[in-house]
Amino acid sequence: MSSQKPSPGGLFEDLDPAPRLLMGPGPVDVYPRVLRAMSTPMLGQFDPQFTDYMNQVMALYRQVYRTENHWTLLVNGTARAGIEACMVSLISPGDRVLVPIFGRFGHLLHEIASRCGAEVVTIEAEWGRVFESDALRDAMRRHRPKLVAMVHGDTSTTMVQPLDEIGAICREFDALLYVDATATLGGMPVEVDAWNLDIVSSGLQKCMSGPPGSSPVTFNERATAVVARRRHVEAGIRSEGMLDAAGPRIQSNYLDLPMLMDYWSPQRLNHHTESTSMLYAARECARVVLGEGLEKGFVRHRTASNALRAGLEAMGLSLYGDPAHRMTNVTGVHIPDGVEADKLRGELLNDFGIEIGTSFGPLHGKIWRIGTMGYVCRKANILRCLTAMEAVLRRNGYACEAGAAVDSAYAVYDDATA
C-alpha cells in the first residue's frame, strides 16, 4: 500500500497496490478476461497450438482494423515500438517525410523520422485544432513527400484528426500514409481500407483496455512493396539460396518489419521470441471488443464522454478544444482559476482512488485530461468520477451546485436509453 523496504533477506513483500480507477489518458483498467488470459500457461513459440494463436491474432485484428490486409500482426513492445517499427522500416535515409503536428505525438513522429535520416518537413496546427484536408493537400503539393506520418487521436490535446479524405489525397501525390491510432483503436472508427490508410499502428493500453506491451500493426500491399525492398536475413538463420533485397538495410533489427513478416508467415523464420502472455492479452482484447461489436463500443464511448462532459459543464467547468474534433474517449477540461491542479489530482487519487491526467507542453498546468476508455468506459465510473470531482473542487474553494454534475450525466444516459 505504501513504499516498502526490503526485508533483511533482501526480499520485498507481495505486490499489493492500492485499488485505482484509471481515468487518465492511458493506461486504463484492463478487462478482467484479459487478465485471466495472461495467466494461461506458456507454449513454445513454434508449438502448432501457439502458431495457430498467432494466426488467430492476425485474423482478429483484421476485423478490429476493418481491413483485408494480410500483414496484420503484433510488434512486441508498447505502442511506441509499433510506431518505430513502421517508420524505421519505411524510411530510408534522405526520404522526404511530411509530419502534420497538432499535439505532442506529432512532434514524436517528427523525432523518429529524423532519427531515421529522413528529410522531415512539418506543418503545424494550433493545439486544440486539427487540419483541414485542403491544408494537407497544399502541403503535399509543395513538398511531394514519400511518406505522410500523422496521428489520428492525440491524447495530449484530446483532438482527433479526420482521416476519411487524407488517404485519397496521399494517393494523388503517390505518397504513403502512416497513421498512429494508439489512442483511437477500439474506441473510435479506424477504417483502414475505406480510408486508404497504408500502414497503421496502435497499442493495447487505451480503448482496447489491455496492458501496455504489445502493438498491433497492419499494412497494405503499397507499404509491403516498400519494406520488402529492404528485406535482410540474419546470417545465423540464413539458408542456402536466401538473398537480401537490394534496398538499404533497416537500421533496427528488433523492429524490422520484413523480419517480422518472415516470423509471422508460414515459414516461421526465427526472429525474437514472441511475448507469449502479451499475445494472449492481445488476442483476448480483440475478442472482447469484437464480442461487444465495434459499433456498440463506439456508441458506449461516445455516450460516456457526452455524460462526463455534461457533468463537467454543470459544475461550471469549461471544456478544451474545438468541439467538432474532440475525441470520444478523452476529455480536456480547463483548470479553473484559483485551484491548485496537482493538489486536486492528488486528492482524487489518494481519497477516491481515481487517477486523471495533466498535460504537456503549452497545455501543462492548464487542462486536466479525463479518459473514458475500454473497461473504464462505464456509467458507474462516470458517476463516480463526477461525484469525486465535485467533492474535491468544493473542498478546494471552487463553488458549484451540489449534485448538478451527476444529474446532468444521468440525463445523458436517460436520453441514450430512451
Mind listing the pLDDT tens digit for each residue in 353-412? 999 999 888 999 999 999 999 999 999 999 999 999 999 999 999 999 999 999 999 999
Amino acid letter, 385: C
Per-residue model confidence (pLDDT) at position 166: 97
The radius of gyration of the chain from alpha carbons, rounded to an integer in Å, stands at 23
Per-residue model confidence (pLDDT) at position 69: 98
- Say if residue 331's pLDDT is above 70: yes
Which domains are present in the chain? 32-289 (3.40.640.10), 293-417 (3.90.1150.10)
Mind listing the pLDDT tens digit for each residue in 16-36? 999 999 999 999 999 999 999
Per-residue model confidence (pLDDT) at position 220: 98
Mind listing the pLDDT tens digit for each residue in 231-253? 998 888 888 878 788 899 999 99
Give the pLDDT band of residue 4 (cuts 50, 70, 90). low
Give the pLDDT band of residue 209 (cuts 50, 70, 90). very high
- Say if residue 2's pLDDT is above 60: no
- β pairing state of 96-101 and 119-124: parallel
C-alpha distances out from residue 141 to 98, 196, 241, Å: 11, 19, 43
Rounded Cα distance between 150 and 162, Å, is: 11
Mind listing the pLDDT tens digit for each residue in 114-173? 999 999 999 999 999 999 999 999 999 999 999 999 999 999 999 999 999 999 999 999
- Say if residue 1's pLDDT is above 90: no
CA proximity to 176, closest of 202, 196, 154: 196
Looking at every residue in the chain, the average pLDDT score rounds to 95
> Is the model more confident about 79 or about 238?
79
What percent of the chain is modeled with pLDDT above 90? 91
Place of cell 487540419: 131
Place of cell 508467415: 265
Rounded Cα distance between 95 and 90, Å, is: 9
3-state helix, strand, coil in the chain (%, to 5): 40, 15, 45
Q: ∠ CA 115-116-119 to the nearest 5 degrees?
A: 95
Run of H or E including 371: strand 367-371
pTM of the model: 0.95
CA proximity to 162, closest of 185, 139, 131, 134: 131
Per-residue model confidence (pLDDT) at position 315: 97
Mind listing the pLDDT tens digit for each residue in 80-112? 999 999 999 999 999 999 999 999 999 999 999
What percent of the chain is modeled with pLDDT above 70? 98
Run of H or E including 75: strand 71-76
